[in-house]
Amino acid sequence: MPVSMLDINEIRRILPHRYPMLLVDRILELEAERIVGIKNVTADEPFFSGHFPDFPVMPGVLIVEAMAQTAGVLVLKSIPERDSKLVLLVAIEYAKFRRPVVPGDQLRIEMTVLKRKASVAKMAGTATVDGVVVAEAQVMCKLEDKDQAQISPE
């Protein structure tokens, strides 16, 4: 049975991201192999002050990040020990951007599992605004123990 309507507080209990990098506001649908999330794009997003001052456009890499975070909710939701895990983005393929995303837009992000193993998930997704596809991509995420995910100083 699909779970619906995870609010921001429930998302924060699943994902480790915080402002300004938490890019998923709500989960509308959550199934074993599919998830639908929402990102409300507001005029006060920190990236708009420099991208671009006279024509604010959400950076494509942040749209893909929102897609990856939505995928991360799906991956982490079913793992009981998720507090000790991170979902790391390890690959992006076939990313395409169809039109600019601007303040006032609501991104509807739908991600579907293509392949899933114990610690790796490959998912394909689309981001739409008002039913129009604005971006699409495939992302691969790897589940890692937090204590193993140390950043090398080299």
Both tokens of 91, joined, read 């690959």
Rg of the chain's alpha carbons, rounded to an integer?
Answer: 15
Neighbours of 49 (CB within 10 A): 10
Active-site option among 12, 17, 26, 51: 51
Active site residue 51: yes
Torsion of CA 125, 129, 134, 140, to 10 degrees: -20
The residues pairing with 73 across neighbouring beta strands, listed in sequence order, are none
Region label for 137, one of left (φ > 0), alpha (ψ between -120 and 50) or beta (otherwise):
beta
> Considering Cα of 83, then 85, then 29, then 110, what sign does the dihedral take?
positive
Q: Which residues are catalytic?
A: 51
